[in-house]
Amino acid sequence: MTIPVALVTGASRGLGRGIALELARAGWSVGINYAGNRAAAEECAGLCAGVARSPDQRFVPLQGDIAQADQRAALVAGCLAQLGRIDSLVNNAGVAPTVRADLLEAGEESFDRLMGINARGPYFLTQAVARHWLAQRPAPAAKHLSVVFVTSISVHTASTGRGDYCMSKAAVSMGAQLWSARLAGEGIPVYEVRPGIMKTDMTSAVTAKYDALIAQGLVPQNRWGTPEDVGLAVAALAGGSFPFSTGAVVDVDGGFQLRRL
């Protein structure tokens, strides 16, 4: 039996690690992309091996800054060389502003950095993987090929202290729709997973703020989201459970998106 392979960007920590772990539990091998922290990626690989279904599954750290074209190409080539295939691309990698700044004070350097990593990276990484898949035709494709974009409630929720982040995530969301439309006729579904307020190292500095907001009812399900919550959604989508739902947006936000009186 062929073991499917997922390439997960930003997989060494946070939501990406949660995604890698749930894919491992579901029987996947995983290319664990990281930008600079090799130790965290190796730790993730070890954790994945501990929950894997089969000893034949493999978990390989793959370095690459997805904002850089040459490193994106090397990332795809490295995954193919070490794991032999790519059945699902999970565009998860993303960064927050180094310093939150009001719209009237924000600078272009942070904007360019976030757009490069959060938006341009996944857009063109998807192009590279899709080109690889289509170049294999007419040879039989894998049973399930897929692309999953991980975005944020910042797609639709304005935060004036981090406008660059909101803009970048809105761009990623449109990228998911564009690739959904382009690849639908090729039999390759594309999905968007939209996390809400998640308990990760990215939100550690604002824990008290969001603890208070959640206690006041901001999240209908009355808790933080976890990397596992996002991982479960990605594993279901990548595993082919929603074959006729390309372009779908899956909210993993505890009901945050609900309009309530």
Segment 203-261, tens digit of pLDDT: 878 899 999 999 999 999 999 999 999 999 999 999 999 999 999 999 999 999 999 98
Neighbours of 90 (CB within 10 A): 33
Return the pLDDT at 141.
56
Return the pLDDT at 138.
66
Give the whole-number percent of the chain exceeding pLDDT 90.
93
The secondary structure of 99-138 as a DSSP string is S-B-TTT--HHHHHHHIIIIIIHHHHHHHHHHHHHHHTTT
Return the pLDDT at 129.
98
Give the whole-number percent of the chain exceeding pLDDT 70.
98
Give tens-digit pLDDT for 171-185.
Answer: 999 999 999 999 999
Return the pLDDT at 250.
98
Answer with the residue of higher pLDDT: 139 or 222.
222
Answer with the residue of higher pLDDT: 1 or 161.
161
Q: Mean of the per-residue pLDDT values for the chain?
A: 96
Give tens-digit pLDDT for 151-165.
Answer: 999 999 999 999 999
Return the pLDDT at 140.
55
Return the pLDDT at 203.
83
CA distances, 126 to each of 32, 62, 156, 164, 173 (Å): 16, 17, 23, 22, 13
Q: What are the DSSP E strand ranges found in the chain?
A: 5-8, 29-34, 59-63, 88-91, 146-150, 190-195, 249-252
pTM: 0.96
Residue in 237, 155, 227, 153 with CA at minimum distance from that of residue 190? 237
**Residue ranges per structural domain of the chain:** 5-252
Both tokens of 140, joined, read 């039989």
Return the pLDDT at 139.
60
The pLDDT of 92-96, averaged and rounded, is 96
CA 148, 149, 150: angle at the middle one, nearest 5?
A: 115
Question: How many angstroms separate the CA atoms of 168 and 173, rounded?
Answer: 9
Give me the CATH topology for the region 5-252: Rossmann fold (3.40.50)
Whether residue 113 is predicted with pLDDT greater than 90 in this model: the reply is: yes
